[in-house]
Structure formats: structure tokens, C-alpha cells
Amino acid sequence: MVKYIYEYKNWTNFTWRETDINALFGEVRNLQGKIIGQMNTLGFKTKEEATLATLTLDVIKSSEIEGEKLDYDQVRSSIARRLGIKIAGLNTPNRNVEGVVEMMLDATQNYQKPLTPKRLFGWHSALFPTGHSGMNKIKVGRYRTGEMQIVSGAMGKEKDHYQAVPAIKVKKEMDKFLKWFNENSPIDHVLKAAIAHFWFIIIHPFDDGNGRIARAMSDLMLARADKTTERYYSMSSQILVERKQYYEMLQKVQHSSGDITEWLDWFLHCLKNSLTATETTLQKVSRKTEFWKVHENTVFNERQRIVLNKLFDGFDGKLKSSKWAKISKCSPDSALRDIKDLIEKGILRQEQQGGRSTNYELADF
């Protein structure tokens, strides 16, 4: 019978082969330093915009890994309001969005504070404000009291993916985990982020939300590694891209007898990919900041500011006058007037493809 990692004696004495991960670990640390160095050469406004963009992505993608889609504008508005960042066209977020944002911001902005059961229970309560996960009522703000199995497949042909630590042992296991998480140890914070993620998932202490909380913990530990509340890369975005490998690796290493080299290697590769992708995001943020600097004396109405910011932040599909009207909540005639004004100012142009409907894009500046 195949054993789970927690069924071995002294299962939390994790081991790994340093020679297998040292080069990759060094690359990750260099990339982190390079990106923080790049950011420190930029102005306050650009750094603020980059942090807002990263945190928004992190919240959205972490929920998407679990199959839950959150509204981009609501998430961005909630983060901006809590961080005191002024943005145009604030949307009113719903309770679910507010809860996930609250947890993520507590993890990243208060990264120096110890992680206590009370704080963890607060995160869990914020994730499930109604006391339900979907249609199911769950225990919120406390450890699970029932056994936890992760299975898939039709009735009679179920495949058992994982059987979590028995409920009676959860509190003892979590006390040990939190003591390790908070203590000063010689382990680098980046490696500690990877170990914490794995260790917490193995315990699976809550009825639901374990994945999102594990990723928030990783973000907290990575903020400690970077020594800053400013976030410029999103680990959750990259985990979503590599979701299949993420689950496969967790499933594989859960049967190890204590060696977690493969998990650390995967985590570091994922983090490296996340840092590489960040360079593209930073280019977009810099372009947006540069645009508003060039046009600081140009007259825009509020609708134009809202849509232009949306184009810089990442716009889904093609920009048509009908979409403009919908985004800025105005009549089709007002939308056309706004667009024509921006074309005359050399800010927008018609896309070359033509076709039955006219699409617009940002002109070079």
C-alpha cells in the first residue's frame, strides 16, 4: 500500500538535494534583485501602478486556479481603495471580492507580522463571508473536524487523489507548522515559501480554501524575501499557466518519504517564469505612465480617462464605439464624439483591417 508523506516518522524533517536546485535558486535570486533594482529607478506613480497591476492579477489568478472567476474592475477598485491609490471609475466590489483582497493585502502588506491561528482564521472567514462554499455549508474560521479526501471520477470508479492528515491531528500539526513558519531559520525565505506551500497543502486544515491560503502564505514569505510591500511579480498567475504540472507535482511528492527536491525544483522554475513574465508587465506599466506624462496638459473628459486607462491595463477584444459606450456608461453618440476627439488629438486611430465594424487602437506616442 502506498504511504502518504505524513505517515512516515518525523515527516516534517524535509530533505532536498542542494546540488540539484542551487543553480536555479541563484537565478531566481538574481532575477528578484534585478527587478527590484529596475523598479527603484522608476517614479513613485509607476511603482504604485505596478504594485496595483500585480496584486490585481494575483487575486484574480489565485481564484481562477480554483475555478472561480472574479471581476477585474471590482478587484482593482478594492485594492486601489485599500491602498489609497486614486484611480478613475471605481467599481463597487461584492463581498467575495472584498474577502479575497483583504486576505491578499494582509499577507503582502503585513508580511513582517507573525502568522497566528487567529490571523489564519481571519483569512478563512474573509474567503467565505456567507459560511458557504458554493451550495455547501462549511466550517468557517476554524480547522476542519471531518476527514478530507480528494477524489474524482464517476460513482463506483472514483480515483483517490489524496487523503489528508486525520482531523484529530490537524491542530497539533498546524501548531508545529506555524511555529516553524514564524521562527528565524537559516533557510532562505524563497525556499521557505516553497516548503510552507507544500507543508500546508499536505495538512489541508480547512474544509475549503486551502489552495488560496497556501498561495497567500507563499506571497507573504516572498515579500519577506524581497523586504518590501511592493509587489512586482505574481506567482499565482504563473501557477495558473502551469496548473496541470502544479497538481501533478503535489500529487507525486505527497508520496515521498521526506525528500521534496522535485517540488522545490518545480516551485523555483515556476517562480523564475513568473519573474521573467513580470518584465513584460513592467514595460506596459511604464508605457502607461509615460503616456500620462506626455499628455499631462491634454484635456480629457472622465469617460476618455476611464477607457484610455483600460486600454493600457489590458483590454479584452477590439475597441468599438459600442464597447466604449458600455464601459463609460454613455450614449452611442457621446462615445463616437469621445473617439473622434481622441483621433483628432492623435491618441487613437482606426485599425487597418477595416471590415464591417470599425475598430480603434492606441496610436504610437
DSSP 9-29: TTTT--B--HHHHHHHHHHHH
Position 159 scores a pLDDT of 60
- CA dihedral of residues 103, 109, 114, 118 (deg, nearest 10): -30
Q: For position 92, what pLDDT does the model report? A: 83
Using 50, 70 and 90 to split pLDDT, how confident is the model at 283?
confident
Q: Is the pLDDT of residue 5 over 80?
A: yes
Give me the CATH code for the 5-287 domain, please.
1.10.3290.10
pLDDT tens, position by position, 64-93 = 999 999 999 899 999 999 999 987 666 788
Q: Please, what CATH class does the domain formed by 302-362 belong to?
A: mainly alpha
Is residue 286's pLDDT more than 90?
Answer: no
With 70 as the cut, is the pLDDT of residue 160 above it? no
Provide the pLDDT confidence category of residue 354 given band limits of 50, 70 and 90.
Answer: low
What is residue 92's three-state secondary structure?
A: coil
What's the chain's average pLDDT?
Answer: 91
Quick one: which H or E segment has residue 326? helix 321-327
Name residues whose C-beta falls within 8 Å of residue 6's C-beta, 6 or more positions apart in sequence.
Answer: 165, 173, 202, 203
pLDDT above 70 covers a percentage of the chain that reads: 95
pLDDT for residue 18: 97
In tens, the pLDDT along 6-32 reads 999 989 999 999 999 999 999 999 999
Domain boundaries, the chain: 5-287, 302-362
